Chains A and B, each alone.
Chain A
Amino acid sequence: MDTALFLLVDGLTNGLVYALLALSLVLTFTVTRVVNIAQGEYVMLGALTLADLLQGRFPGSVYLLVGGLALCVVLDARRWRSDWKGALLFAAGMLLAAVGAVALAKGALALQLPVVAMMLVALLLVAPIGVLIYRFTVHPIPDASTIVFVIISVGVSMSVQGLGLLIWGASPYPVDPVASGGTLLGPVFVPYQSFVILVVALASMGGLYLFSEYTLVGKALQASAMNRLGAQFCGIPVAKAGGLAFLLAAAFSAISGMLLAPLITANYEMGFMVGLKGFVGGAMGGLIDYPFALLGVMMVGGLETTSAYLASAYRDVLVFGLLIPTLLWRNARQRAEAR
C-alpha cells in the first residue's frame, strides 16, 4: 500500500513535469502545425543553463543565443540594398539583445542571485532561442506539410543536441533542488521539491490560461490556432503569432527542464527521451486538447514509475506497449462522440 502511494506521488511528480512539455507541444502545434520533435532540447537547455548559473559558470546557452542573433543579421543581409536604414536598425537591435544577454548572465553570476531568481535568468536566456529557431526553420516555409516540419525539427534536435555536447561535454551536471528535504504526508515521504514542481507547474498552466483568455495577444494566439486563414483576414499577423507560440513553448519547456534537473541528472542528451514522453502525452489529446494532454502525461508518468518498480528491464516496453490500447480506447471514444 505504501509502495503504491509512493509510486503514485512519484508518478504524478514526473507527470507534472511532462505536462509542461506537453503544453508547449500542443501550443506549438495548434498555432503553427509543427509537431516539434525538438521541444525536448529546450528542456536540456533550461536544465544545463540553470546548472551553470548555480555553479558559477558562464552559461553556455548565451553562445547559442548570440550565435542565433548573428545568424538573423546574416539572413537579413539582402535588405541592406533596398532599405539600409531598416536593416541597420535591425542589426543594432540584435546587437543590443546580444549585449543584453551577456550582461544579464554576467550580472546574475556576479550578484550570486538566489535559486528562484537564477531560474528566471535562465528562462530569459533560453526562451528567445525558441523564436530564433522559428525564424530559421518555420518562417521561410509556412505552408509546408506536417511531415516536412517533423523532419526539420528532427534536424534541429540533432544540431542542438550536438551543440549541447560541444558546449557542455558529455558529463552530467547535478542541480540542487529549490527546496531540499521533505515531509511525511500520512505514510508517504514527499520531498519538498515535489511541492515546488506542483506549484510552479500549476502557476505556469494558470498563467497560460489567463494570458490566452484575458489578453488581446492571447486571444490573437487562440484565433491563429483555430483558423489561420480566418485570423489572417482579421488582421492578426499569423507569422508573429507563430513566433510567440515558439517563445512560450520554449519557456514552458525550459521551466520543465529546471524542475526536472534535480530529479534526474542533467546532461546534453536528456532532452530527446523527455521530449518523446511529452509528445506521447500530448498526442493522447490529439495534440489539440489541453485537458486530455494533461491526463495523458499523468498516465505516462504513472505507468513509467510503476513499471520501473515492477520490471525495470521492461520499463519502456510496458510504458509504450500499454499506450496502444489506450490509443484505441481514445479513438473509439472520439468516434462515438463524432456520431
Chain B
Amino acid sequence: MIMRARSVLGLCVGAAFVAAPWVLPSFYVGILAFAGIYALAAIGLILLLQAGQVSLGQAAFMGIGGYVSALVSRAYGIDSALTLVLAVAVTAVIAAAFGLMTLKLRGHYLPLATLAFGIATSGVFTAWHDVTGGASGLDKIPSLGLFGHVITDDRFYAQLIWIVVLLAVCGVNRLRTSRVGRAIATLESHDGMARSFGVDTTALRVKVFVLSAVLAALAGALYVHLLRFVSPSPFGLSSSFKLLIMSVVGGPVSGAGAVLGAVTLESAQWGLQDLLARWGASGNLEVIVFGILLVVMLLKFPRGLWPTVEKRLPAPAARSRDGAGLPMRRPDTKPGEVLLDLKGIGIRFGGLQALADVDMVLRRGELVGLIGPNGAGKTTLFSIISGLQRQTSGSVKLFGEPLPRSHLIVRNGMARTFQHVQLVPEMSVIENVALGAYWRTRAGFARSLLALDASENQQALATAQAALVRVGLAAEADLPAGSLPLGKQRIVEIARALMADPQILLLDEPAAGLRFSEKLMLVKILRQLQADNVTILLVEHDMELVMGCVQRLVVLDRGRMIAEGTPHEVQANPAVIAAYLGGSRDKAA
C-alpha cells in the first residue's frame, strides 16, 4: 500500500508527541501530560458538537470517572488500570441515563441541562464530605498500575496519555467518514430526513453522548492517577468551559482540532504566566490577556484553528470506492399488487383540518402523480406516508402491514426525497448519497472506531458512486453538497433515495427550481426507474412534466381528494379546473 503524504505527516506528528516526554525538561512534561488529558476530554466534546449538541457538563463526567477510579482503588487496593475500566463503565451508565432523559430537549435546553448537571455534580463532590473528602480532597491515590506494576515515571505516564489521545483522534476521524459518522452529521438539523433513511436518531444521540462522556471519564481517571490526589476544583464549571473553549478554538470539525486547541490554550496559559511573571506583572493580568487573546483568536478564526492548518496540508486519502456494490433486494414481484393503501386519512392541526378522508392506493410498477394547488395538503400527506407525522384518523398500510415507526419504513422498501433539500452541506456529495444505504449496512460505533468497516464502507461508496453515475453527477462526487446549484442538489436527493434500494420511491417536488436540461435529465431518470420496476409517487407543480410521464393522477384540494384518473380524465374534470382556476370554488365554500 502506498502511503499518502498526509498519513506520513500524521505519523510523524504523532511520533513527535509520543516521544516528546523523553526529550522535554520535566516541567514541560507535566504541561504536556495535562494538555493530553484535556485534549482527550475535548475530543468527546467535538464529537458532540458534530452531532449539533453543546455540553457544559463535560468536566462533571471527567469528575465522575476520576472520583470512581480514585475512591475504589484507594479504598480497596485494586489495581488502578482495572478501576479505570470500572470508572468508564459507571460514567457510561450515568451518561446513558442522563442522555435518555434529556436528549429530547431542544434548543437551549440541552446546554442548560448539562450545565445544571455539571454544577449539581461538582456540588455533590464538595458536599459529600464523608466519601469524597469534601473541598480539601483526598490524597494517597495510587498511580496507574496493572498486576502490581505501577507507573512511577511521569515521562512514561505522559507518553501513555498521548498514545491514548492519538488513538482517540484516529478513531474519531475514522468515525467521521464511516456509516455512523454520516448519520451523526445529520443530527444537527436533519432529524426527519435521517429517520426516513433508517437512522434511529434518538438512540444515536444517546450513543454519541455516552461515547463523549466515556472519553471524559477516561481523561478524568488518568488525571487523578497522574496527580495522585483528587479534589472537586478541577471538575467544576470552569473546567467544562475550558474544554468547550479548547474544542471551539481548535475547530470542532476533527479530532485533531481538540489536540490543537488543548495544546494552544495550555501553552498560551503557561507561556503567559511565565512571561508576565518575568516582567513582574501581577497575577491577574494573565487572565485579562488570556481573555483578550481568546476573543481575538475567535474573531480571526471563527471556525477554529484546525481548518486553517488543514488547508495547508496535503489532501487526505479518500476512502476506497472501487469494487462491487452492496447486494440488491430481489423482491418477488407480482405486477399490480397493492403496495401502499391509504384509507380515510385525516389530520387536524388545532382548528385546521389539513386533510380529510383521503383514500388512495399505489400498485407495483405504477408512476402516480399527486397534484393540487398550494396548501392542498400534498406535503402533509407525504409526511404521513413516510411516518414523520401521525394522522389523526384513518390508516396507512405498507405492503399490507400497518406503517412501522418512521426509521423502520425504509427497511420495508420505501424511500423519499424532500421538497426543501435536506443534504448536509459540508459533507461531500458522495457521502451524502452513501447515507441512503444506512439500513443496508451494519457497521456500528465499535467497528468504525477500530477501522473494521473497510470492506462494507467500500461497498457502500461503490454503490453511491454507481448511483451518481446513474443520475449523471459522477463528476461532482467529491464536492461539498452545499456548493452545488439547487437543481443538482435535488438530483443528489434522488440518488440518495435510490441508494436505499427502494420498491416505492416518494418524490416531493423534484422538479422545483430545476433548469430545462435538468428537467430532461429528471424525466430520463424517472423513465429508467419505471423500467426497473420501481413504484413512484410524485408530488409536482410542473404540469407538463407530470402529465407527460405519470400513468395516474390524484388531485387534492383543501385537504380533500377531488379527482383521480389518467392525465386526460383529470384535465377534463370540472372540479380540478375549478380548483386551479378558482371558478366555482368560492361558491362552493
Question: Is chain B's binding surface mostly helix, strand, loop or mixed?
Answer: helix
The listed residue (B54, B115, B299) touching A320 by CB distance below 8 A is B115
Residues of B contacting A330 with CB < 8 Å?
A: 109
Question: Is chain A's binding surface mostly helix, strand, loop or mixed?
Answer: helix
Count of interface residues, chain B, beta-carbon cutoff 8 Å = 44
Q: Are B284 and A162 in contact (CB under 8 A)?
A: yes
Residues of B contacting A137 with CB < 8 Å?
A: 295, 299
Mask of A268-283 contacts with B, CB within 8 angstroms, 1/0: 0000000010011001
Residue of B nearest to A325 (CB): B101
Query: With the chains together, A166 CA to B316 CA distance in Å?
Result: 48
Mask of B83-114 contacts with A, CB within 8 angstroms, 1/0: 00000000000000000011011111101110
Residues of B contacting A162 with CB < 8 Å?
A: 284-288, 291
Determine if A200 is an interface residue (Cβ-Cβ < 8 Å).
no
Q: Are B104 and A316 in contact (CB under 8 A)?
A: no
Min Cβ gap B117→A in Å is 7
Determine if B194 is an interface residue (Cβ-Cβ < 8 Å).
no
Mask of A135-174 contacts with B, CB within 8 angstroms, 1/0: 0110011001101101110111111111101100000000
Q: Are B105 and A327 in contact (CB under 8 A)?
A: yes
Determine if A328 is an interface residue (Cβ-Cβ < 8 Å).
yes
Q: Are A147 and B294 in contact (CB under 8 A)?
A: no
Query: With the chains together, A165 CA to B288 CA distance in Å?
Result: 10
Determine if A324 is an interface residue (Cβ-Cβ < 8 Å).
yes
Residue of A nearest to B56 (CB): A150
Classify chain A's interface size.
Answer: 35 or more
Determine if A323 is an interface residue (Cβ-Cβ < 8 Å).
yes
Min Cβ gap A295→B in Å is 15
The listed residue (B127, B241, B291) touching A317 by CB distance below 8 A is B127
The listed residue (A155, A320, A331) touching B106 by CB distance below 8 A is A331
Determine if A313 is an interface residue (Cβ-Cβ < 8 Å).
yes
Q: Which of B404-456 contact A (CB under 8 A)?
A: none
Determine if A299 is an interface residue (Cβ-Cβ < 8 Å).
no
Determine if A209 is an interface residue (Cβ-Cβ < 8 Å).
no
Q: Are B291 and A331 in contact (CB under 8 A)?
A: no
Determine if B249 is an interface residue (Cβ-Cβ < 8 Å).
yes
Q: Are A331 and B109 in contact (CB under 8 A)?
A: yes
Query: With the chains together, A317 CA to B282 CA distance in Å?
Result: 34
Q: Are B284 and A324 in contact (CB under 8 A)?
A: no
Residue of B nearest to A282 (CB): B108
Residues of A contacting B54 with CB < 8 Å?
A: 147, 150
With A140-B299, A156-B295, A159-B288 known as contacts, the answer to whether A286 contacts B108 (CB < 8 A) is: yes
Min Cβ gap A144→B in Å is 4
Determine if A250 is an interface residue (Cβ-Cβ < 8 Å).
no
Query: With the chains together, A310 CA to B490 CA distance in Å?
Result: 61
Query: With the chains together, A286 CA to B108 CA distance in Å?
Result: 6
Q: Are A141 and B302 in contact (CB under 8 A)?
A: yes
Determine if A43 is an interface residue (Cβ-Cβ < 8 Å).
no
Residue of B nearest to A140 (CB): B299
Q: Are B294 and A151 in contact (CB under 8 A)?
A: yes
Min Cβ gap B556→A in Å is 22
Q: Are A158 and B113 in contact (CB under 8 A)?
A: no
5 new A-B pairs (CB below 8 Å) besides A141-B299, A155-B294? A150-B244, A159-B287, A279-B112, A283-B108, A327-B112
3 nearest A-B residue pairs (beta carbon): A159-B291, A158-B291, A155-B294
Chosen A-B contacts, 8 in total, with CB atoms closer than 8 Å, are A140-B299, A151-B245, A155-B291, A156-B295, A158-B294, A159-B295, A162-B285, A328-B102
